[in-house]
Amino acid sequence: MNDMSKPPATPALRFEAPPSTSLWSHARHIVSENPVTGFAFGLFALIVLAALFGPLVAPYDPLASNTNSALQGPSAAHWFGTDQLGRDIFSRVLVATRLDFAIAVFSVALVFLLGGLAGVMAGFFGGWVDKLVGRVADTIMAFPLFVLAMGIVAALGNSVTNIVIATAIINFPLYARVARAEANVRREAGFVQAARLSGNSDWRLLLTQIVPNIMPIMAVQMSLTMGYAILNAAGLSFIGLGVRPPTPEWGIMVAEGASFIVSGEWWIAFFPGLALMIAVFCFNLLGDGVRDLVDPQRRN
Amino acid sequence: MTALPLLDISNLTVEFATRRGKVQAVKSIDIQVGKGETVAIVGESGSGKSVTSYAVVRILDRAGKVAEGSISFSGVDLVAADEAQMRDLRGREISMIFQNPRAALNPIRKVGRQIEDVLLQHVQATSATAKEKAIEALEKVRIARPEERYDAYPFELSGGMCQRVVIALALACQPQLLIADEPTTGLDVTTQKAVMDLIVELTRERGMSTILITHDLGLAAAYCDRVVVMEKGKVVETAEAAAIFHAPQHPYTRKLMQATPRLGMALADLLPEGTPKPPAQARAPATLAGAAPLMQVENLVKEYPRPAGGALLAKLRGKAEPEKPAFRAVDGISFSVARGETLGLVGESGCGKSTTSMMITRLLDPTSGRIVFDGQDIGAMPARTFAASPFRRRIQMVFQDPTDSLNPRFTAQRAILDPILRMGTVEGRAALRERCEELARLVGLPVELLDRFPHQLSGGQKARVGIARAIALEPDLVILDEPTAALDVSVQAVVLNLLDELKQRLGMSYIFVSHDLNVVRLLCDRVVVMRSGRIVEEGTAEEVLGAPKAEYTKELLTAIPHPPA
């Protein structure tokens, strides 16, 4: 072996390659390129702030009833009006953000871990793992998903934890299938073969080569299912499963307010419904922006 | 050229709006194509040759637009023409052939039908005569048994056949101008020859004009009347094909010429003039008499089972179909690699050379046969667990596509260090960085690029990262799987020299897998020619490529485009 440190006589190549950019300036570019994405990120920030600080800044106690001021329309004192028990709807909508957001975040995180991992393993290893994951997903998809979620919550018991679990289970096939397809495509990619030559074991290949590269698509998937998860949780509460009154929750509030619409007190159902709609809308818009943000190819 | 040119591009500038402002892909170029003339536009990637042709047929993507200049096609101003006019011109007057024939054909429609569609669209046939005319078109592109092929789907045809169908489509309406954008890149040399011969013959027959866009100067010179050389969006030279080969005027043309491997040149001759040539090392005597070879492959076989069609149905009926014989991708080959030798593994696509190299690198299990490496049969160790074997670090590989073989989420440094982290002895941040810089210097990769991601590197730089990774553990044997196939010729020249120099310095053996005989001639000591999973010829590079014995080797050699004498 000769001297290794000597530079080769072969001339070095000098090519202009794009300079690297920071995540922040990249984010700024994405937003400036597509104002809708900026709007979605703004809404998302608002939702997160409401979830974090809602209970602190709420003007009234969301549970305190005051029969003297029941069923009042929106006013300066009660921005969103009051309900049949005289509770301030603005405070209740604000405080409910934390619960709804938490249910969505935890269920999506759970399904991402379980469904994503199962799918990636199915796509990468193939064989009986693939068959098993595929059949489990098929079984779940054989039911109407909302009915399945109802059944799970009814069977496991009426609690927030079980709503999270039920929402995660009904989203399992979606995550498992996307992850499986993406992992399957990359299994034979050159860089995976190269990593195999570098002495990486199968599990290490899976976790260091495959998983990071399917994150962009999974991030989009997560953003989209967030909206669906919120809707699902609210839907379960609406029909009386999961969260129980008087806990402020968008779904229950809509359910409670529904009977008053006929008599003209529209605000009771309207404002929690609006919050729900904005949240779902925001997560759906966010999907594209998230993909642009996490895809390294776009970062130049 | 006496009369008015058929196509007159003058002072054309094409701009693309990018996030760093406007970029001029094509800068004030002038190109004329006369009637019946064949013009080649030659250049390396990013030279603007394809953009020019897209501007002519107005299929630039949304970000691009013609900023200046005019394109006139037999009197019609193509820049000002509206979309309806262009639709009429495309296909009927100007046709295009693209690089990937399979992508250009609708996969779920019979090829005959696809030709009919074009004929009907441009009122070249009525529904009564369409089938007849389509078969006629297939016949013209020399497709054997056109009546049968009319009913074939694209996936049932080979790459060369598909390209013929695409040509039939392009020529169906007797256009006046044919634009062929890298029509044979990705095809084997023998297929390339057949396709190019066909294009030239058909255009001559019909008095058509052709623009051939290619990166291959040899191909351009062999088939065209005139050659236009482009560099970075500018035309640097326009000349007759013969003239450009014998007396290139512009320094860039000369550099391109020089970098193109040809008969009777040495590896160092590929580098541009004026660069310090690597010291001419005497080729080490390949085989030391009596020394055991580094690797010996004996009777290697790889079989793939054929899909059993209708087997289940037959089983249900209670009568098992006779089992079809398995497909043999590699059919009992034996060869050996001596220490310090470069062995060329040559053949066209589907000959089994890639399957062979996958088995040697132990990414794939052979069906039978032995792979003896340094006295031990590594073929018997299952590929799944080979990562844990002490032999893993001694056999490495450089992949064909430098982009595909780098994890997009790893920096260059992380990619190079991957084998060291798994199997090396170097530990600690500082020591790893030092080793990485050492390797980067060794392969001529600027150290400041080590923190970049693959998409921030050029093709040549990525190739160097791949090479650095392969040699990081100082392996005994490196398999080079067409390491320069995805690179421009000038980059290829540098990378080939680098590989040769590294081999001398580190005392490795190479197995060089390639279809490019000119490159094999330059780099290899011995050559093995494969066809349909078997070895048809084996010997020293001079013997096999200088005086081939096998008919197939001769065929391969004559198919390489030769510039006019």
Q: What tens digit of pLDDT does each residue of A181-226 get? A: 999 989 888 899 999 888 888 889 999 899 988 888 888 888 888 8
pLDDT recorded at residue B148: 85
Report the share of chain B in percent with pLDDT over 70.
92
pLDDT recorded at residue A119: 94
What is the Cα–Cα distance from A175 to A120, expressed in whole angstroms?
Answer: 9
Paired with B70 in beta bridges are B10
Ordered by start, the domain boundaries in chain B are: 1-86+211-260, 295-303+327-412+473-559
Q: pLDDT averaged over chain A? A: 83
Note whether B1-86+211-260 and B295-303+327-412+473-559 share their fold.
Answer: yes
Please give the structure tokens belonging to residue A242.
């999961």
pLDDT recorded at residue B564: 58
Higher pLDDT, B46 or A137: A137
Is residue B420's pLDDT more than 50? yes
Question: Could B404 and A189 be called an inter-chain contact, meaning their C-beta atoms sit closer than 8 Å?
Answer: yes
What is the Cα–Cα distance from B40 to B220, expressed in whole angstroms?
Answer: 6
Question: Could A191 and B407 be called an inter-chain contact, meaning their C-beta atoms sit closer than 8 Å?
Answer: yes
Is residue B349's pLDDT more than 90? no
Is residue A101's pLDDT more than 50? yes
List chain A residues with CB under 8 Å of B424. Answer: none
pLDDT in tens, B429-454: 899 999 999 999 888 888 888 988 88
Measured CA to CA in angstroms, residue B483 lies from A193, B349, B478, B511 at distances of 15, 15, 11, 11
Mean pLDDT of A98-114: 92
B255 CB within 8 Å of a chain A CB: no
CATH number 3.40.50.300 given to B295-303+327-412+473-559: yes
Is residue A76's pLDDT more than 80? no
Is residue B364's pLDDT more than 60? yes
Are B39 and B10 a contacting pair, CB within 8 Å? Answer: no
List chain B residues with CB under 8 Å of A201. Answer: 387-388
Are B553 and B536 a contacting pair, CB within 8 Å? Answer: yes
Is residue A59's pLDDT more than 90? no
Option in B361, B399, B507 nearest A190 (CB): B399
Are A287 and A220 a contacting pair, CB within 8 Å? Answer: yes
How confident is residue A13, by pLDDT bands cut at 50, 70 and 90? very low
State the nearest Cα–Cα gap between A255 and chain B, in angstroms.
47
What is the Cα–Cα distance from B361 to B394, expressed in whole angstroms?
Answer: 10
Q: pLDDT averaged over chain B? A: 84
Instruction: Give the number of other Cβ atoms within 10 Å of residue B88's Cβ.
Output: 12
Mean pLDDT check: name the lowest of A166-180, B279-293, B375-389: B279-293
Helix (H) or strand (E) holding B74: none
State the nearest Cα–Cα gap between B232 and chain A, in angstroms.
13
State the nearest Cα–Cα gap between A183 and chain B, in angstroms.
14
pLDDT recorded at residue A126: 87
pLDDT recorded at residue A89: 85
Is residue B185's pLDDT more than 80? no
State which fold the B1-86+211-260 domain adopts.
Answer: Rossmann fold (3.40.50)
Dump the DSSP string for B313-377. HHHHHT-PPPPPPPEEEEEEEEEEE-TT-EEEEE--TTSSHHHHHHHHTTSS--SEEEEEETTEE
pLDDT in tens, A156-182: 988 889 999 999 999 999 999 999 999
- Using the structure block, give the residue that is written with the tokens 């396709």: B195
Measured CA to CA in angstroms, residue B138 lies from A13, A136, B105, B113, B149 at distances of 46, 50, 14, 11, 8
pLDDT recorded at residue A7: 44
How confident is residue A12, by pLDDT bands cut at 50, 70 and 90? very low
pTM above 0.95, yes or no: no
Option in B407, B452, B497 nearest A17 (CB): B452
Is residue B386's pLDDT more than 70? yes
Question: Could B445 and A12 be called an inter-chain contact, meaning their C-beta atoms sit closer than 8 Å?
Answer: yes
Mean pLDDT of A270-275: 90
- Mutation site, B405, B467, B481, interface A, largest A CB count within 10 A: B405
Option in A12, A193, A195 nearest B446 (CB): A12
- Domains of chain A plus CATH, in order, are 23-52+98-298 (1.10.3720.10)
How confident is residue B1, by pLDDT bands cut at 50, 70 and 90? very low
Higher pLDDT, B141 or B40: B40
Choose among B279, B255, B216: nearest CA to B497: B279
pLDDT recorded at residue A19: 45
Mean pLDDT of A119-141: 93
What is the Cα–Cα distance from B159 to B161, expressed in whole angstroms?
Answer: 5
DSSP letter assigned to residue B486: T
pLDDT recorded at residue A18: 44
